[in-house]
Amino acid sequence: MSFQITVNPGTLEEQSEMFDVQLMDELLQADIEKAEEEFGPGNIWVYQTEMDDDVCAECKGYNGNIYTSKEVAEKWAWAEKLRAMIKPNVHPNCRCRLETLVTVEVI
């Protein structure tokens, strides 16, 4: 009796890709939680552009929108807290900011 075992390289590759995606998701999730913590869990932010002709179409579309800290963390990977505001850094040289609408303090 003899066996012929065929390993489909495509399948192995797909599996390792799936593993990478899962690992990436976990890393991303950790980053989001860290950012949410930094922005203040429960805080609510309003998006504000400079309202001039240099504001790009994408940022213009966000103007006036309301986001939770978690949404900011999920939406913009390069967002950073600067004193009482968040710079979303939607793209290089983005001048937009998110200002606090509601601050939830844990007492």
Residues in CB range of 40: below 8 A, 6 or more apart: 69, 103, 104
Check residue 79 for interaction with Zn ion (CB under 5 A). no
Kindly determine how many residues on this chain lie close enough to bind Zn ion according to the rule CB under 5 A.
Answer: 4
When binding is defined by CB under 5 A, the residue of 32, 59, 73, 79 that contacts Zn ion is: 59
- Cα 102 to Cα 107: distance, rounded to the nearest angstrom: 15
98 binds Zn ion (CB under 5 A): no
DSSP 55: S
Report the residue number whose CB is nearest to Zn ion.
59
Confirm if 88 and 97 have CB atoms less than 8 A apart.
Answer: yes
Chosen residue from 35, 79, 86, 90 binding Zn ion by CB under 5 A: 90
* Residues within the interface to Zn ion (CB under 5 A): 59, 90, 94, 96
